Homo-oligomer: A and B are copies of this chain.
């Protein structure tokens, strides 16, 4: 989990920034140069380059080379792992399972209350 988890660390933390998510959204419409990615934002070019480095570190984009251009391309594969991880929790948000779960575990908790108090360190 530590070894495989590192990939998830990188992906999730890359996704935790709205600028980076916007960059990915833009790349979903096709590859772009750095300057094309700078334009829509009020951020400086170095700032965007840095965000791109983070995305690249997470494997979410790849860079090409074309003269002085370094076209940026979406690579969605790491999102698959993220989607799979989250997918394991789908049953917890689907159906009105949520409230039922709360209710059941509430009962369970109350049943265990006595045991809990007895728990030794």
Which A residues fall within an 8 A CB radius of B?
Answer: 1-2, 5-6, 8-9, 12-13, 15-18, 21-22, 24, 28, 30-31, 33, 62, 64, 66-67, 69, 71, 73-77, 79-80, 82-83, 85-90, 92-93, 98, 102, 105-106, 108-110, 113, 116-117
Tell me if A's interface is mostly helix, strand, loop or mixed.
helix
State how many angstroms separate the Cβ of A68 from the closest Cβ of chain B: 9
Q: With A76-B93, A106-B64, A113-B66 as given contacts, are A85 and B16 in contact (CB-CB < 8 Å)? A: no
Residues of chain B with a CB closer than 8 A to A98's CB: 75-77
Contacting pair B77 A86 (CB below 8 A): no
Given contacts A1-B18, A66-B109, 9 further A-B contacts (CB under 8 A): A12-B15, A13-B13, A67-B117, A69-B116, A74-B92, A76-B89, A76-B93, A79-B89, A79-B92
